[in-house]
Amino acid sequence: MLDIPGATFMHVFIIVTVITVLAGKLVWEAYLIRLNMAEVRRHAQAPPPALHEVMDEQTYAKSVDYTLVKARFALFSNVYGMLLLAAVLFSGVLPLLYGWLGTFMEASVWRETFYVILVFLLLAMSGLPLEHHAQFCLEERFGFNKSTFRLWATDKLKGLLIALTVGAPLLALFFFLVDFAGPLWWVWAFAVFFAFQLLMLVLYPMLILPWFNKLTPLPEGELRQRLIDLAQRVGFKARTIQVMDGSRRSGHSNAFFTGFGRFRRIVLFDTLMEQLSEGELEAVLAHEIGHYKLGHVPKMLTLSAGLGLAAFAGLAWLLKSPAFVQAFGFSHAVDGAGPAFVLFALLAGPFGFWLSPLLNFFSRRHEYEADRFAREHAGGANPMTNALRRLSEKNLSNLTPHPLYSAFYYSHPTLLEREAALAGE
Ligand SMILES: [Zn+2]
């Protein structure tokens, strides 16, 4: 039996905690963004002496402008996102929607699944105007947007289709486990989630990526031979160095590594190929191979498995506490796990946000290690340093982020930090 005053205290406690975390995130992020903007303005006349050669004056001015415009947009979209989240959480729309579904759907795994999909579909739609603005106003203004409205809309539809095809059965399986797998259902649910994560590492580059981009093997020639030689030298069997037509959507350049075992793949953006010399491309490839050889993929997977298991344990605990859903206006008679799942998923972002500096810290350590690997195996420090400089220039990267800002948000060390590390021991 629920003791009413006790329950009321719990409700208030839950609501106050949630509001504190949401407001804390909003205020903290606004603080960091403003701090960063001030730092960028302070250097607006000229970059630090160590970076004078990275960009010419005009490009540097443009990079300052780009950083500030993006920062103002981030301030706005953070407020927008938080107001939206608060409205969804506290307006009573979630219980209303759940009650409405209950009027024509029997309690079942499918009702819960449908409920989750409906909520996240509505949320995704409300984010579209901002995404559109970011691509067609902001990126466009600085010459990075290469997409068309048609391509953008098709991308969104494809993404939705994939999310539904993959997400719906996965959600249904989750709710099935909650109902039928006994008190340790969350361990099973975690196992399914982790197996799915591994599967996606393999399937993403094979099935999903080619649906959005054209991937072609690097053509025969001097460059290919040089890269294959490098791979052989460091003991990396590279059958597949692929070039992706990133230029179809954006002028930004990148390279990445995906998959594991015999499914591993290295993907270079066509934009990257245009911007870098052969020696620099070799260094970038060595960096990517470094991530593989140094075991960064299994390390990050282990970390994410630990966090995933903790998350499922937390969800299981919340599902056992009726006060959690009641605090957000659901009735005592909730007979499915959908509401708790939706609330947990909505709150996972703002609560998990506070862990992001830790994850970024590990990620940056891996970047340093991969840079060192590139230095050892691809012609010393210069090609890597030059590649990083060129990428910063072409992507109009912020050369002077505030240290607190970059420590919190950056998954890669700053250019200055990476150069110093490459030049050092
Ligand atoms: Zn890297």
Q: What is the pLDDT of residues 371-388, one digit of tens each?
A: 999 999 998 999 999 999
Residue 274 has pLDDT above 60, yes or no: yes
Rounded mean pLDDT of the chain?
Answer: 90
d(CA 200, ligand 1 centre) in Å: 20
CA 64: distance to chain centroid?
24
Q: Distance between CA 64 and CA 370 in Å, rounded? A: 28
The residue-averaged pLDDT of 52-57 equals 86
| 288 included as an active-site residue | yes
Residue 309 has pLDDT above 80, yes or no: yes
Q: Distance between CA 127 and CA 122 in Å, rounded? A: 9
Query: 289-306, pLDDT tens digit by residue?
Result: 999 899 998 898 899 899
Residue 323 has pLDDT above 50, yes or no: yes
d(CA 179, ligand 1 centre) in Å: 42
Of 153, 126, 141, 129, give the one whose Cα is nearest residue 70.
141
Give 1's pLDDT tier (boundaries 50, 70, 90): very low
Q: How far is CA 284 from CA 95, 201, 247, 389, in A?
A: 51, 21, 18, 12
The residue-averaged pLDDT of 248-268 equals 77
Strand extents, DSSP E, 119-249:
215-217, 241-244
Residue 332 has pLDDT above 50, yes or no: yes
288, 367, 393, 419: which one is catalytic? 288
Maximum mean pLDDT: which of 30-39, 249-258, 271-280: 30-39
d(CA 364, ligand 1 centre) in Å: 8
pLDDT at 2: 45
282, 371, 393, 419: which one is catalytic? 371
Query: 389-417, pLDDT tens digit by residue?
Result: 999 999 999 999 999 999 999 999 999 99
Query: 130-154, pLDDT tens digit by residue?
Result: 999 999 888 989 988 888 999 999 9
Residue 261 has pLDDT above 80, yes or no: no
Q: Distance between CA 105 and CA 107 in Å, rounded? A: 6
d(CA 363, ligand 1 centre) in Å: 8
pLDDT at 114: 94
| 371 included as an active-site residue | yes
d(CA 359, ligand 1 centre) in Å: 14
